[in-house]
Structure 1
Amino acid sequence: MVDKGEQAPNFKLYNDRGEEEELYNYKGKIIVLYFYPRAMTTGCTREAVRFNELLDEFHKHGAVVIGVSTDPVDKIAKFKKKHNLKFTLLSDPEGKVVKLYGVVKKGTKRLAAERTTFIIDQDMRIVEVLRNIRPAEKHADLALEIVKKLSK
């Protein structure tokens, strides 16, 4: 399991446009890397919409938001379009990155990510990990507060 203070493991996944993206391409920015269980579900929708509402604030503080789930590219593309999301979603259908970061959701038949967010600094070091967050707990707002402190 990856934790606070460690170097963020690099990875490559396909985004919502079917293009390969590498985490380390974002070096120099603050990264809000959030894992979510499933696109098109109530909780994940609420969470994604809130990140989207706060996106300008994240950008203002030098941060990018990236969502990762085990959903296939076509499903995350539909999810992004349906909710007009302006940030990148990545597809991890084999769960390689979910396992790498230690966020496999327990007790589900289908491989899914546990709702967890990693705040990664400009040098690719994990500065905060938000675990077991519920969408109703203003998850995106909490991540933004951490980003604001980090960008000072």
Structure 2
Amino acid sequence: MLEVGTKAPDFTLQDQDGKDVSLSDFKGKKVILYFYPKDNTSGCTKQACAFKELYPDFMEKDAIVLGVSKDSVASHKKFQEKYQLPFELLSDPEHKVIEQYDVWKEKSMYGKKYIGIVRSTYLIDEEGNIEKALEKVKPQQNPEQMLKLVEDL
């Protein structure tokens, strides 16, 4: 994970509509940048829907939610439409930003090792600095945990 207190690396990725989105677009706002393994899987769906439920609360706190995975723009579009997600999903198929944020790591499932996205979330302040960095977050609890951190800022 990147260190708390350091500048969050800027990036530009395409959202579910194929529009370029940069972290620097949100200067002056808090940003919840969450990395998740795959659209339409049970954990990722739970996490996205929990962020959706709390989205009005994040908006009230002037905070933006951005989800990032290596899924395609088309996959993100279907996922967003299926669950009516009110926030942007960013596509990083070459996992450049995923690696830049140090969440592309060795994992294991059923004893088999592989490389993939470790579910992680960053809270970035209005100046673009990393306020919190959480690794191996629980999909269902992470949005509530992030809202509490935003409220405590």
> What's the TM-score, normalizing by structure 1?
0.93
Q: 3-state DSSP class of the match of 1:54?
A: helix
**RMSD after superposition:** 1.4
Distance 1:28 1:106 in 2: 34
Q: 3-state DSSP class of the match of 2:76?
A: helix
Distance 2:114 2:69 in 1: 12
Verify: 1:23 aligned to 2:27, yes or no: no
Gaps of 5+ in 2: none
Q: 3-state DSSP class of the match of 1:68?
A: strand
Distance 2:77 2:114 in 1: 20
2:145 — aligned with what?
142
Aligned length: 149
Does the 8 Å contact 1:39/1:45 carry over to 2?
yes
Distance 1:27 1:12 in 2: 14
Verify: 1:129 aligned to 2:133, yes or no: yes
Change (3 A) 1:110 1:39: farther
Does the 8 Å contact 1:38/1:71 carry over to 2?
yes
Does the 8 Å contact 1:66/1:87 carry over to 2?
yes
Q: Which of the residues 115, 118, 123 maps onto 2:122?
A: 118
Gaps of 5+ in 1: none
1:60 — aligned with what?
60
Q: Tell me which protein shows more strand as a share of its residues.
A: 2
Distance 1:64 1:43 in 2: 21
Deviations 1:92-147 (A, max 9, x none): 000000000000142378864211000000000000011111214x1100000000
Shift, 1:34, TM fit? 0.4
Distance 1:101 1:89 in 2: 16
> What's the TM-score, normalizing by structure 2?
0.93
Deviations 1:68-111 (A, max 9, x none): 00001100110000000000100000000000000014237886
